[in-house]
Amino acid sequence: MSFSIPKNVPSFTSPNREFEDGAVGGLFGANRDLPLYKDKPYYQRSGRDRRKMYRRKRFLGGLIAIFGLFYWFGYFPGTGTSILPIKKKTKEIVNWEDRREKVKEAFTLSWNAYEKHAWGNDQFFPVTKAGRQMIPKGMGWIIVDALDTMMIMNLTKPLEKAQHWVEHSLTFEQDSEVNTFETTIRMLGGLLSAHYLSQDLKLVPVKKAVEDMYLNKATDLADRLLGAFDSPSGVPFASVNLKSREGVPSHADGGASSTAEAATLQLEMKYLSKLIGEALYWKKAEKDGLVPIFVYADTGNFRGHEIRLGSRGDSYYEYLIKQYLQTKNQEPIYLDMYNAAMSGVKKHLIAKSHPSHLTFIAELPNGIGGELSPKMDHLVCFMPGLFALGATEGLTVEEARKAEKGVKWGVRQEEDLKLARELMRTCYEMYNVTATGLAPEIAWFNLKHGKSGDGEFLKEDPSKDIIVKPRDAHNLQRPETVESLFVMWRITGDEIYREWGWKIFEAFLEHTAVGEGAKDGFTSLDNVNEIPPKQRDNMESFWLAETLKYLYLLFSPNDILPLNEVVFNTEAHPFPKFEMGHLFETGWKRLPRDKEGVIIKEGPKEEDAENPKKDKDEK
């Protein structure tokens, strides 16, 4: 596996060795490489020599004792007033429980500010202390998205108020258009996750009526979202009217839905079907690895050739492997599609920067065969965690390598895990190279004279590799990097990922806090390379729903929401894995493909060949 010595983290040197070298080695001379034992194995001194040696040892022992007292009380130049300065140089024993509590405090500050200045609103502006609705009566955008985070953090009092608002104030009977994708992953996902955590994990005491309330609200919303699927092709429209339940083509992108919008609805709909025993939602959501980022709902055809894993295309790839994991490996078609997609990513999109050979995922604006664009959205930083999750299927590396059932460990899995580590380092460096320690929305990589190194060591300054353009320098409190850090920690057990997460969290505390002591919450930034940075007046709902949740889980015990038992949707809402049972099945099959993944076109049947007009009419 690749590894490089991290910067600005606790030292890997031994504190014991430092003390011995400084305190003892200096007393006996400059040569610290003498052997502990004589080179001659049976060497023995005479009795007189032994008595002389005894007297020397007594004298030497007294000298050491005196030296020790002087050293302890700081009478030697450079030793300070006590031994504490030496302790400061040692690797600190980290209390992860304390760090986890700091994350909870940040959530509480954010929530209290929202509750005080914008309660019930879909958007919160911490700087001006105001809120705004996205539709007339609101969607509960922030409240619903944060329900499960409060459950995981065991924040009972704010949770009770949020539950009351959802039960008595939230209504979906509104004559308004909403985005199908965002409403599904945030609102439907948030309600379903709240139902799951309140019913099954018992993290916080919740009354039965509240459990049912979450499920009833989720079902009501899902019924309205189903209208988006009523398109000629079955591909969901980009938007839907909540009251009329009619799908609405996108008002941008020529009316096309994005790949993410069309193919990131399945986890939520399938889980709802399982909960209520109704296959309708499952069937509607199921309608082939690298695809363009836009698709027309009226025809099902893709628009253009642009391929990227950033905005508009990211979660399509994420949901391939997660659908396979959600139904406990009972739908291998999704694993096949995921593997095909990742093979395409590795073949066409993986690139190395110059001079440090950072591994990154580029874009193909003109499709396969076109020129590579060295641009990587912060959104792409979900990929390190995805590669690791796909390799081990949620098990630790040690468990996956020894697994007799499920994971088939081999060369591909080792390669994917190595790639996950390299990409994780790159995503961390996107934070590490900026003035604030926070990542830009988009990074550009230096490809001049780039070489295909293995990324094992960073021989140069990564700041030469990563270019941040002023228009891309904003930070929206996005979660993708800390999401991958959480997954990488759970799967590899490498504590460096926790350390990186803590450093990122500290940067958020330092630069995004609003008001004295963050009493008005936290906000987005205009430019991560300015000190002090200009603050944007906006707190995204995913700050509460994802970023702080993943940081909290990163510092939590591993038995809280273990990855071999749950899947997180693309908005960090956890759902349980489940057996399909007799009621559900994969509702479609892939067309046969050759080794390169190209669809094999079958020739016309004899009857059809004799009667071509009939074949044309049937199509």
pLDDT, residue 65, reads 57
CATH 1.50.10.10 domain extents, the chain: 96-576
Residue 46 makes CB contacts below 8 A (sequence gap 6+) with none
Q: What is the pLDDT of residues 211-228, one digit of tens each?
A: 799 999 999 999 999 999
Q: What is the pLDDT of residues 58-107, one digit of tens each?
A: 655 665 555 555 444 444 443 333 222 333 344 678 999 999 999 999 99
182 is catalytic: yes
pLDDT, residue 249, reads 86
- Cα 119 from chain centroid (whole Å): 28
* CATH number of the 96-576 domain: 1.50.10.10
Q: What is the pLDDT of residues 390-440, one digit of tens each?
A: 999 999 999 999 998 878 899 999 999 999 999 999 999 999 999 999 999
Say whether pLDDT at 46 is over 90.
no
Whether residue 149 is annotated as binding a ligand: the answer is no
314 is catalytic: yes
131 vs 254, higher pLDDT = 131
Catalytic site residue from 314, 331, 363, 377: 314
DSSP assignment of 293-338, as one string? SEE-TTT--EES--B-SSTTTHHHHHHHHHHHHHTTT--HHHHHHH
Say whether pLDDT at 183 is over 90.
yes
Which tokens go with 46? Answer: 């005479």
Nearest CA among 144, 38, 106 for reference residue 545: 144
Q: What is the pLDDT of residues 482-530, one digit of tens each?
A: 999 999 999 999 999 999 999 999 999 999 999 999 999 999 999 999 9
Catalytic site residue from 122, 148, 177, 441: 441
pLDDT, residue 201, reads 66
Find the distance separating the first CA and the last CA of the chain, reported in whole Å: 52
Q: State percent of the chain over pLDDT 90.
A: 58
Confidence of residue 21 (pLDDT cuts 50, 70, 90): very low
Least trusted range by pLDDT, from 315-329, 371-385, 451-465:
451-465
pLDDT, residue 136, reads 96
Catalytic site residue from 480, 483, 499, 520: 480
Find the Cα–Cα–Cα–Cα dihedral 372, 377, 379, 381, rounded to 10°: 70
Say whether pLDDT at 12 is over 50.
no
Confidence of residue 231 (pLDDT cuts 50, 70, 90): confident
pLDDT, residue 599, reads 55
Exposed / middle / buried, residue 342 (Cβ in 10 Å: 0-12, 13-18, 19+): buried
Catalytic site residue from 145, 177, 182, 363: 182
Q: What is the pLDDT of residues 275-314, one digit of tens each?
A: 999 999 998 887 533 333 333 334 334 344 445 554 444 5
